[in-house]
Amino acid sequence: MNGMRILSPTAILGYGFPRDSFDRGMAAGPDAIAVDAGSTDPGPAYLGSGTCFVARAAVRRDLEILISSSLEAGIPLLIGTAGGSGAKPHVDWCVSLIDEVLKANGRRARVARIYSDVPKETVRRALRDDRIRPLPFGPPLTDESLGRTSSIVAQIGVDPILQALEEPVDIVVAGRAYDPTIFAALPIRSGFGPGLATHMGKVLECAAIAATPGSGRDCVIGTIGREGFVLDTLSPLRNFTEESVAAHTLYEKAHPFRLPGPGGCLDVSGCRFRQVSDTAVEVTGSRFETSAPYTLKLEGAALVGHRTIAVAGVRDRIMIESLDEVFDGVRHSVQDSFGSQGYQLNFRTYGKDGVMGPLEPEGTICGHEVGIIFDVVAPTQDEADTICGLARSTALHYGYSGRIATAGNLAFPFSPSDISAGPVYEFSVYHLMEVDKPESMFPVERLTMGEDGT
């Protein structure tokens, strides 16, 4: 085979895509449709709670088009990090939607399902054997943090996907997957270089985000050959440029030339980017270096409490200049009633340091108004509600220096002002684990689904 085309319809399954762009992609004759369905970007709550951060109706809309098109073309549809976080509840949620779409359209499909969950005992055994290490700047994994973790997944590499492709399959649904994996697997199986395939996958998993102008909900296509790969847009509104593809190659990387992943590292130090048309860029020189031992990145979430927030605005110049005094006074009042332990009380001040917090380099407030979020995390929802209510009411009537009027200090955009936000999770496991046989950890289940299926 001289070349292979992979169609990427959208940055996240459920984000949507223009039908005309997708139709152009299908007319180009792709060998597979591949789509990333999740990310850790929305935080640990979805992993911990087993819920998806993209709406069911939006995911179904995308699946309706992708499934029918892939079956009609006789090409596989590959889905990675199913359901948003890739744990078993997320994979099952996605598979149930696939079955629903197939039955609604009177279709039948061969589905390969791959769970990426890692049993807690497996991680505990690796911890005892000194085969767990933290990511740079992260804390070591402890028995305590592991014990309170509710769900653990591994970022799988290409090995389970390759296993799924060994037999005829229409749809592959994988749990948590290293982002380029779902795009790189078929080219690697067909004999194309793993460096080129992984680099192409790194760009394709974000779809048109790497184009100019960028978009997370538009289609692009990648064509891989023996010496390089070509990225092309499918909308007249967008172009790939040497600069945009090179910039995206640096995206989400701690090192400009090296991107570690399962079993090795993508090395782009020798890459060259060449504009081959107004919309397309060729990339050459990508290499993949295998590593020993083979490591997998683990992600686990643990419940840490419940959250209540209140949103308020301030447009009084004197109060804005006195916010540190106000916050100190509010904290003292809360501590006087509830002590200083067992809860978290934070003030996020937009217009001052709401984005960067203590890392904010600009110490002067330049605006005429600020927005404040009262953020409380406590063991129970009732405790969080109570502490947030006290903090909010204290700030509302706090007598700061220079205050003239005795009316309320805060403007509330909502009533009720306090919002119970529910359970709060944190990443309790975010570490690398050494493994001997990664392909044996994530077996492939084969199902016949849809009309007259299981």
Average pLDDT over residues 235-244: 97
Looking at residue 254, its pLDDT comes to: 86
| Report field, pTM of the whole predicted structure over 0.75 | yes
Looking at residue 364, its pLDDT comes to: 82
Contact yes or no for 177/86 (Cβ under 8 A): yes
Residue 453 has pLDDT above 70, yes or no: no
Share of the chain above pLDDT 70, in %: 99
Closest CA to 15 of 239, 275, 219, 173: 219
Looking at residue 1, its pLDDT comes to: 57
Question: 414: how many CB neighbours lie within 10 A of its CB?
Answer: 10
Q: Is the dihedral of CA 189, 194, 200, 203 positive or negative?
A: positive
Looking at residue 373, its pLDDT comes to: 98
Q: Report the alpha-carbon distance of residue 55 to residue 361 in Å, rounded.
A: 37
Q: Based on C-alpha coordinates, what's the Rg of the chain? A: 25
Average pLDDT over residues 12-17: 97
Looking at residue 86, its pLDDT comes to: 97
Q: Is the dihedral of CA 396, 402, 406, 407 positive or negative?
A: negative
Q: Which tens digit of pLDDT belongs to each residue from 144-155?
A: 999 999 999 999
| Topology at the third CATH level for domain 303-428 | Alpha-Beta Plaits (3.30.70)
User: In the structure, what pLDDT confidence band is assigned to residue 241 with cuts at 50, 70 and 90?
Assistant: very high
Q: Judging by beta carbons within 10 Å of its beta carbon (0-12, 13-18, 19+), is residue 74 exposed, middle or buried?
A: exposed
Helix (H) or strand (E) holding 46, with range, is helix 45-49
User: In the structure, what pLDDT confidence band is assigned to residue 454 with cuts at 50, 70 and 90?
Assistant: low
Residue 203 has pLDDT above 60, yes or no: yes
Average pLDDT over residues 288-312: 96
User: In the structure, what pLDDT confidence band is assigned to residue 92 with cuts at 50, 70 and 90?
Assistant: very high
Residue 349, token pair as written in the block: 């001040």
Residue 257 has pLDDT above 80, yes or no: yes
The average confidence (pLDDT) of the chain is 95
Residue 19 has pLDDT above 60, yes or no: yes
CB under 8 Å to 316, separation ≥6 — which residues? 409
Q: Which tens digit of pLDDT belongs to each residue from 367-414?
A: 899 999 999 999 999 999 999 999 999 999 999 999 988 889 999 999
User: In the structure, what pLDDT confidence band is assigned to residue 340 with cuts at 50, 70 and 90?
Assistant: very high
Closest CA to 297 of 442, 118, 139: 118
Give the residue extent of every domain in the chain.
4-116+155-293+436-450, 303-428
Amino acid at residue number 379: P
Q: How far is CA 288 from CA 80, 162, 203, 265, 303, in A?
A: 21, 17, 15, 6, 37
Residue scoring higher pLDDT (82 or 136)? 82
User: In the structure, what pLDDT confidence band is assigned to residue 141 with cuts at 50, 70 and 90?
Assistant: very high
Looking at residue 225, its pLDDT comes to: 97
Q: Judging by beta carbons within 10 Å of its beta carbon (0-12, 13-18, 19+), is residue 344 exposed, middle or buried?
A: middle
